Chain A
């Protein structure tokens, strides 16, 4: 199953809140509509049969409306919420079978979380917040302060290390949250709607900060959000969640260009498609010789418009190694960008 590069792997994970949760799954009652299930069994299904893998260095976004089960799912990964059934592997270790001590070890060293409402310790100074993860590991004071100062420098908060969280703005508080998570040097970072509580401008700033850090640190990231723009901006892959289920998992281009159902289509309707969809979406197979004008398959259609309407002859599409994969169909470009017609997705969509 999981390749050696897989850092997080979930298989058939269920989470049912309520009495006799395990029985409810077996009995098949879980397929009842939400209200009926609640009336009959007193249970709510928050995660339904979820499977996914996240590769090392990948940013995996879980996106869905409020109440769709995102927070529950990511908490199952570290068993902050105990899954009802399924299998979870984190950095090659079996999470659900782990004893309390082993689980603590995993939480201390392998994975760290950034929370929607920051979850900062109000009674501790900023530096003691950032050093908390190291402190519970029993690391000595000097070492952990050194490390905490280093991280505070990274997120630009060195001057406020002696302040208390409630003296900082929301954006600064979440930087503390980010530094606190990074301080333990985890392999996996989980963001649960980490930026949802921030003002739009600050939110964009924080997203850029994450992209900048990610370029340097190449962590494995699970990023929960209800904001499609955020998902498209940050995600290498995006999982769209609805009523506890993944309705589609794919790259941003796949999600926007080839929505799996009406729910996803409705979601992505207003996305500026030229900024997300790539040349691959308007490429027809072509066996002939290399045209004069060529573009790369992963270039955004929006950027290509001058070429598309400026070139006289056919436009070739090449893959990463320069091989011709087809020609760009001008009619199709228009259709794809207008979102009027279901474009045919090339069989082998280069990632």
Chain B
């Protein structure tokens, strides 16, 4: 047989390059390379971002802050709308706090336990009771408000803040979700906003919120709301949308009106999804209590924050434990509440008649009334508890001692040989190379618009910096260089991400491959995913002290469950018949994994990378609280020195960085589809 001629050989290859994967890289590279050469020629090659280029963003925010302070009482928007709203939130919080105190500790205990029993099993009820008791029993010397040792009042305050934030999220989130499900335009408008809200680290919007609402409970509630509401909107919309089309059609064929359709068919069928969303809201709200304390929301977050800032780790651990317990309690109770509908339907398990329900409620009310009026009880009595700090400190010390042989060298190795070089290396790259790189990758993955947008974000990020010698209210500020701080943050993100993927993806594969691994991992992951972000800071600070290594380790642990889960989920989503086909050809188990399952699960793995990046980034900036450098530390510093402008500019830089990292790692725009499976 004649050998194929050179042209027939080459043609398909050329065509493939032009039209295929490589072809996507050609146009952006053709633009980016000359631009880089030009920039280098004009500007010269030097590290980072030119110091003389800035937009003056800190000054804008400082100006805005001044203006708000001066016009607080005269401007209609500030006075009536913002302050009015703030007052409502404050009033509601106080009302709930007062109600909880009025109920007395016995009443709270009874109500929580009975509720848990109604919606769940006796285990749920027992667990709730134990958690409520722990609020009283576990104490911190001088840890509570006004220097008392009890945590009960703090716990009630947190509970009240949670209640108000959750109610606010519900009355805004569910209608928005319904509207998005009904009107595509609403959905289209809302999607990018929700996207942004979900990629923003909470730190990014703390400063603007404080500018508007000033330090206090309302600011904390608004921050919690922004952080927590997106999943509720998404779940509501998704729940309504995923009602089967033939069911809707059947309802329409009988002449249902729009609202009958919604009430009789769509909402009931979406109820479970909505409850899942609400459960998410609760979990997210609890994960932000410490951050909310940074802007003046009281409660259990305060002692944690204090402990982190003053290195009194034992006290932080106790307060953190109480928050975790509260999270687990609310998680279980709300999850049980959500599953109730389904359980009633299957007519298995316990169902209570209206009578019985009313009886139980009456009994709880009676307990409350007797406790309040009859026994004149109040908050948890101080004597029914003890300081738990010594035990916590002992436990943490034990951990520290046990691992100190590893932790010390590990920490210095990471610092000296990984983090510092990486940070230096990132910092040395000229800004236009970074912009060109980001633009090229963005273009290749998502079209020229995305490329240009992302390159623009990179430049804008550099422009966030304060000019040299920026003064604020007469005193010279610290030197805020957004570029180098972002590069420091980036180096932390990259290291944590790399470790996460190296550990997480094999773990995910193992959980998919071996049932036993899955059985062991599942409860651990479940537990880790209910832990609020800041909790991870406590042990890592004990082990590594404040600084970048603590930040990286906390981020690593925080994002690991998501990396493992998404990998397993992606592999599970591979259709069974495809696997069967692979088996029919006699593939070994590993051939099947590498030739069939992993390639098919690729979009999910990309999603795992995307989620991991966002989680890592969120935790890296929160780790600013424990001295991890970069943009997070800028926000913390901004707060501690009351430099609003710098804090806000650092927050904006975070937004830009978040957008860039998210879009670069996102190849599958259809987040909702995967997120629900």
Binding site for B on A (CB under 8 A): 78, 80, 103-109, 111-113, 115-123, 132-133, 135-137, 164, 184
Contact = CB atoms under 8 A, between A and B. Distances in A.
The 8 lowest CB-CB distance pairs between A and B, nearest first, are A119-B250, A108-B255, A107-B255, A104-B255, A133-B254, A119-B246, A113-B253, A123-B268
Nearest to B248: A119
B526 interface: no
A118 B346 CA distance: 20
A13 B249 CA distance: 21
B255 A105 contact: yes
Interface in B197-248: 246-247
A120 to B, nearest CB: 7
Interface stretch (B63-71, B257-265, B360-368, B626-634): B257-265
B252 interface: yes
A24 to B, nearest CB: 23
Interface string B353-394: 000000000000000000000000000000000000000000
A122 B269 contact: yes
A121 B255 contact: no
Nearest to A106: B255
Nearest to A118: B246
B393 to A, nearest CB: 53
Nearest to B345: A164
A135 B264 contact: yes
Contacts of B254: 107-108, 112, 132-133, 136, 184
A118 B250 CA distance: 8
Contacts of B257: 104, 136
Nearest to A138: B260
A192 B255 CA distance: 18
A137 B260 CA distance: 10
A136 B247 contact: no
A115 to B, nearest CB: 6
B256 interface: yes
Nearest to A129: B250
Nearest to A132: B254
A121 B250 contact: yes
A29 to B, nearest CB: 28
Contacts of A117: 246
B251 interface: yes
Contacts of A80: 249, 252-253
Contacts of B247: 119-122
Contacts of A122: 247, 269
Contacts, number: 62
A78 B256 CA distance: 13
Nearest to A103: B255
A116 B264 CA distance: 22
Contacts of B252: 80, 107
B347 to A, nearest CB: 8
Contacts of A115: 246, 249-250
Contacts of A136: 251, 254-257, 260, 264
Contact of A123 (B246, B255, B260, B269): B269
Contacts of B255: 103-109, 133, 136-137
Interface string B159-189: 0000000000000000000000000000000
Given A104-B255, A104-B257, A164-B345, A120 B269 contact: no
Interface string B254-283: 111100100011001100000000000000
Contacts of A137: 255
Contact of A107 (B253, B265, B269): B253
Nearest to A107: B255
A184 B251 CA distance: 13
Interface string B314-357: 00000000000000000000000000000001100000000000
8 contacts: A80-B249, A103-B255, A104-B255, A107-B254, A108-B255, A113-B253, A115-B250, A123-B269
A63 B251 CA distance: 25
A137 B264 CA distance: 13
Contacts of A120: 247, 250
A119 B256 contact: no
Contacts of A121: 247, 250-251, 264-265, 269
A106 B252 CA distance: 12
Nearest to B256: A136
B169 to A, nearest CB: 25
A135 B252 CA distance: 13
A106 B264 CA distance: 20
Given A113-B253, A122-B247, A132 B345 contact: no
A78 B254 CA distance: 10
A109 B264 CA distance: 19
A78 B253 contact: yes
A95 to B, nearest CB: 13
Given A117-B246, A133-B255, 8 more contacts: A80-B249, A103-B255, A104-B256, A115-B249, A119-B249, A119-B250, A120-B250, A136-B254
Name the residue among A115, A118, A122, A123 with the largest chain B CB count within 10 angstroms: A123
Nearest to B342: A123
A113 B345 contact: no
B517 to A, nearest CB: 33
Nearest to A184: B254
B489 to A, nearest CB: 47
Nearest to B253: A113
Contacts of A116: 246
A132 B251 contact: yes
A117 B251 CA distance: 14
Contacts of B260: 136
Interface string B616-651: 000000000000000000000000000000000000
B425 to A, nearest CB: 51
B356 to A, nearest CB: 20
B249 A132 contact: no
Nearest to B246: A119
B272 to A, nearest CB: 10
A123 B252 CA distance: 17
B93 to A, nearest CB: 36
Q: Which of the listed residues B252, B255, B256 has the most CB atoms from chain A within 10 Å of its own CB?
A: B255
